[in-house]
Amino acid sequence: MRAHVFRVLAEKLDRLFKSSHEHNIVVGTERRIVRLHKLEAAGLDILKAAGIELDNRPGLKGADLLAAIRAADGAIVRSGTRITGELLESPGRLRCVVRAGVGVDNIDVPAATRSGVIVMNTPSGNTVSAAEHTIALLLASARHVPAADASMKAGKWDRSKFLGTQVAGKTLGVIGLGRIGREVARRAVGLDMNVVGFDPLVTPEKAAEFGIKAVATRDELLPKCDFLTLHIPLLPDTKDFIGKRELALMPKGARLLNVARGGIVNEQALADALANGHIAGAGLDVFEEEPTPANNPLLKAPNIVLTPHLGASTVEAQEAVAVEAANLLVDFLTRGVIQCAVNMAAVNRAEMDEMRHFVDLARRLGMFQAQTAVGSIRKATLQFR
């Protein structure tokens, strides 16, 4: 009886708003996605086999990008395209955006949520490649590999100049114990390193399964680190997560690695710490501004290994990400299955069919409240059982 009342109310509200609100529902069976970056053949084959029309439009900007987005049911992007709130304000038929990669800081996720657009990422496709690149930078920094290579190619033989440090027996601090952080830890254990980790969302028991000794705070972790690696997203509260104060807490002679996101390490503070010798070395794959401008202080810093965002740049990772992205789109557009979404819980088709009326009712009640309320809405109270 109650469900029937909800459905009737939803139908009445639908008629009330039908004339003034656009719905992101595609009529018919034709489904279309816009591909804004290169996608490997294995992913394209999955989309074509599912009967999804492909609009291949790499490099779009401005009005052309807006038009392509609004004309598609889904979009595939990498880090080079920004899906802004302006693009999502009136999304047309767009229902989902899939980031072929992990980080979604180039997508205005709150704006997508407000417009009813699902944002999904591919968290597992590049995990191994990013972890391996972290270890590569760790070893390159510890043994001065790039500088020694450059010296040799300049016709020199400076053995004494490149005295390094072995990693066995050293302590690696890992901030962020998600997929990549755990894979880095697993490889570090294989190098006979001691691993300590900080992640407020991971219990000490869970961390121990991966050979990691968990600590409760960042400040507790930093003094223990011979090497520090970060595997966290760039968010307002992680901007400059490692700055001047945090670098000072690390032991003199420690080394820092970042294969996660530019901006979580303050670049000027790191350059200063390298210059004064407190930090012995660093390896960075990501930067606050990419491509890196010529005035970036890290370009002239000593004892640093820099790579141009190569963490996922392997043949295997690119193919795995393409396949994962394509499967996410096919599952969502053809079966209504939501996986790896960053702005809503994963919901299978059966659950969505059961919930659909109630989700729609909640949306319409919200619109009704917004239009009838006097003044700004300052507080919302939800009662449920």
pLDDT per residue of the chain (385 residues) written in tens, 0 to 9: 455 545 555 555 555 444 333 333 333 457 999 999 889 999 999 999 999 999 988 888 889 999 999 999 999 998 888 999 999 998 999 999 999 988 888 899 999 998 889 999 998 889 999 999 999 999 999 999 999 999 999 999 999 999 999 999 999 999 999 999 999 999 999 999 999 999 999 999 999 999 999 999 999 999 999 999 999 999 899 999 999 999 999 999 999 999 999 999 999 999 999 999 999 999 999 999 999 999 999 999 999 999 999 999 999 999 999 999 999 999 999 988 888 999 987 776 677 667 767 877 887 888 888 788 777 777 778 787 7
Mark whether 261 is an active-site residue. Answer: yes
Q: What is the pLDDT of residue 4?
A: 53
Query: What's the Cα-to-Cα distance from 155 to each of 152, 178, 186, 245, 326, rounded to whole Å?
Result: 5, 44, 38, 41, 49
Identity of the amino acid at 124: S
Q: What is the pLDDT of residue 21?
A: 39
Instruction: Report d(CA 164, CA 3) in Å as an integer.
Output: 70
Instruction: Report d(CA 183, CA 164) in Å as an integer.
Output: 25
Residue of 288, 309, 324, 364 marked catalytic: 309
Q: What is the pLDDT of residue 27?
A: 38
Q: What is the pLDDT of residue 349?
A: 64
Residue of 99, 231, 255, 261 marked catalytic: 261
Residue 199 contacts residue 218 (beta carbons within 8 Å): no
Mark whether 23 is an active-site residue. Answer: no
Residue of 290, 316, 335, 356 marked catalytic: 290
pTM, 2 dp:
0.78
Identity of the amino acid at 12: K
Q: What is the pLDDT of residue 8?
A: 52
Mark whether 231 is an active-site residue. Answer: no
